[in-house]
Amino acid sequence: MNKNLSHKEEVKLEHRLTPEQVFILNVLQTPKIEVVELVANEIIHNPALLDIEYEPQEEIEDIEIEDIEFEKELREIVKEDILPYFEPEGEEEKFLEIPAKKPSMKEYLKGEIVFKTSEEEILNICGYIIELLNPKGFLEEEHENIARDLNVSIESVLKAIDILKEIEPGGFGLKGTKEYLLYQIRKENMDPLCEKIIREFYEEMLKGNFDKISKRLNISVEDVKKEIEKIKRLKPFPSIEASEDVDYVIPDIIVEMEGEEINITINELDLPFIYINPDFVDIVNNEDKYDRETVKFAKEKLKRAFLFIKGLEMRRRTFRNMIEFIIKEQREFLLKGEGYKKPLRFMDISEKLNVSVSTCSRLLKDVYVQFNDKVYNIKDFFSPPSKHKKEISRDYIKETIKKIISEEKEPLKDTEILKILLDMGIKINRRTVSKYREELNIPPYNIRRRKI
């Protein structure tokens, strides 16, 4: 496999990387929420880098990398041209704070699972389980039934639940409050006695039978009460309350239509303009004027500065390529709405752009996109593919069910709707049809018949 960073935008980890390549890769993979701090720290600790607040002694354009003594070595590392500066993208007047509605619990979980796994089967199972969660975030359905409905192994179902369980604030997909309390106790490394009380005396605790617990554990009632006070500080369920509140965010991406063309503007305005310190270039190019330690120090810092700038450029290019691919794939979703969302996973981006799934996950974390005065979390653009031949998103199936019912002459039973869907090549079960119909707030056929 070719190690060329300019083509790959990162070096595949199965190859042995040089320290310089590792450094570039770390810069390239830095998430949005960390990149500002990364740049600030690099400027503080590397005097070969300056930001726009400083007055350069020479024009930036006067620094020619070809004149630097180790220029060939740098080119060998990155396999392409290196600039002596990094200029952030963005138009300040475009990027203003705008409201973004908080997602419901299920919307939140659907958005998070794409950051947790790239396995198609597990994504499908996670999506299915999310739809089954009760308002508290618990899963009342038996694991065996889910495995049977989806024709997957129990192990795969448990793996999906483990993923949901670790999504903040943690505990989604557990069976109920007792299991959730045990989960929190283990997660927070609480006193083992708390776990024993929950595991063996849960019903007695709820009834307030502290004497009975005290005798069985051979401890004082006062000690039992102390342990239960600790337990009371835990949450009873993980659910995130659905809210009409809004967060105000500054979008990272603005998508605009000009005729049929899509224009994408990226916001990097929170980053400074940084450039190479010309004094360090002078030291490296005039070694005879300086002592050996000064020259050595200047070379090390200058090399790191150039590689840091290159890492930022590659990060920008990789990020832009990802966004352009996502927007191109979900153009119909942006223009026409939820029912037109295509199945899209990080794996699709990884395969198309030849970057790792890990890089996709890190660069796209907490990214917001603005289109027509509406703000989307980048997670809104992802939808796990169906395991069937026709890769159709859950949202599209629901839209299709809605359309079938709106066009019915006589009210259709769920089994009849299922037959129509199967004829269309959409392979789901009757139970799923019923669930999607209920989510659309459409009553069953007998109630629709009475209305007619």
Q: Which of 367, 373, 265, 362 is nearest to 320 (CA)?
A: 265
**Comparison of pLDDT for 345 and 164, the residue scoring more:** 164
Output the DSSP codes for 148-180.
Answer: HHHT--HHHHHHHHHHHHTSTT--TT-SSHHHH
pTM for the model:
0.60
| Residue 10 pLDDT greater than 60, yes or no | no
| Residue 112 pLDDT greater than 80, yes or no | yes
- Lowest average pLDDT, out of 81-90, 279-288, 342-351, goes to 81-90
Band (pLDDT 50/70/90 cuts) for residue 376 is: confident
How many C-beta atoms lie closer than 10 Å to residue 42's C-beta?
20
| Residue 387 pLDDT greater than 50, yes or no | no
Q: How far apart are CA 207 and CA 222, in angstroms?
A: 16
Q: How far apart are CA 137 and CA 251, in angstroms?
A: 30
In single-letter form, the type of residue at position 171 comes to: G
| Residue 372 pLDDT greater than 70, yes or no | yes
Place of tokens 């990060």: 315
What pLDDT score was predicted for residue 44?
92
What pLDDT score was predicted for residue 324?
94
Q: How far apart are CA 26 and CA 201, in angstroms?
A: 49
| Residue 449 pLDDT greater than 80, yes or no | no
Contact between 274 and 47 (Cβ < 8 Å): no
What is the per-residue pLDDT across 159-195, written as a single tens digit (0 to 9) for each?
999 999 989 888 999 988 889 999 998 888 888 888 8
- The β-bridge partners of 383 are 344
Place of tokens 């509140």: 245
Q: How far apart are CA 84 and CA 60, in angstroms?
A: 7
Residue 302 sits at the vertex; the CA angle it makes with 298 and 308, to the nearest 5 degrees, is 150
What pLDDT score was predicted for residue 327?
94
- The β-bridge partners of 266 are 253
What pLDDT score was predicted for residue 91?
60
Q: Which of 381, 368, 319, 380 is nearest to 95 (CA)?
A: 368
The arithmetic mean of pLDDT across residues 417-446, rounded, is: 83
Mean pLDDT across the chain, nearest whole number? 80
User: What tokens does 357 get?
Assistant: 């799934």
What is the per-residue pLDDT across 251-290, written as a single tens digit (0 to 9) for each?
888 888 888 888 888 888 788 888 888 888 888 888 888 8
Distances (CA, A) of 344 to 53, 111, 328, 331: 42, 12, 11, 12
| Residue 410 pLDDT greater than 70, yes or no | yes
Residue 432 sits at the vertex; the CA angle it makes with 430 and 437, to the nearest 5 degrees, is 95
The arithmetic mean of pLDDT across residues 349-372, rounded, is: 87
Q: What DSSP state is assigned to residue 383?
A: B
Rg, the chain, Cα only: 28
- Lowest average pLDDT, out of 223-237, 378-392, 399-413, goes to 378-392
Distances (CA, A) of 205 to 174, 197, 209: 20, 8, 6
What is the phi/psi pair of residue 246, to 5°?
-125, 150
What pLDDT score was predicted for residue 160?
94
The arithmetic mean of pLDDT across residues 63-69, rounded, is: 52
- Lowest average pLDDT, out of 108-122, 184-198, 241-255, goes to 241-255
- Lowest average pLDDT, out of 1-10, 55-64, 290-299, 419-428, goes to 1-10
- 192 CB-contact burial (10 Å; exposed 0-12 / middle 13-18 / buried 19+): exposed
The CA-to-CA distance between both ends of the chain, in Å, stands at 66
Distances (CA, A) of 340 to 197, 258, 387, 396: 50, 21, 18, 6
The arithmetic mean of pLDDT across residues 420-427, rounded, is: 71
Q: Which of 299, 278, 286 is nearest to 74 (CA)?
A: 299
- 109 CB-contact burial (10 Å; exposed 0-12 / middle 13-18 / buried 19+): buried
| Residue 94 pLDDT greater than 60, yes or no | no
Q: Which of 119, 116, 117, 165 is nearest to 139 (CA)?
A: 165
Distances (CA, A) of 27 to 34, 37, 405: 10, 12, 52
What angle do helix axes 192-207 and 221-232 make, rounded to 10 degrees?
Answer: 90
With a CB cutoff of 8 Å and minimum separation 6, the contacts of 54 are none
Q: What DSSP state is assigned to residue 67?
A: G
| Residue 322 pLDDT greater than 90, yes or no | yes
